Amino acid sequence: GMSAILYVEDDELTRQTVTNRLRRMGHEVTSVDSGEAALEAMDRTRPSLALLDLELPGIDGVQTLRQLRQRIPNLPTVVCSAHLNEAFVRQQLSA
């Protein structure tokens, strides 16, 4: 069946693009642009998966993740960050 996905991303274009793609794949997506909105949405939607950008305005992604986990302890979470990934790739290339 459909999985309820909570998607947290402050960049509007990225958020719309990914949300549309996930919906076309048949998922039920609640997309929000901040950690505060994510916590509020989570109480309403009880997602089965969270996609979380680490660079968020207000409470950051790490804080958001902690609070999501307090509410749903075994919530599968995919953490995204362009900057961390870029740094990681550079590190791998120079190794």
Nearest residue to 22 (alpha-carbon basis) of 56, 46, 43, 51: 51
71 compared with 94, residue with greater pLDDT: 71
- What is the C-alpha to C-alpha distance for residues 31 and 55, in angstroms, rounded to an integer? 15
Is the confidence at residue 43, as pLDDT, over 70? Answer: yes
Tokens linked to 18 = 């990914």
Span 18-29, average pLDDT: 95
pLDDT at 83: 64
pLDDT at 1: 44
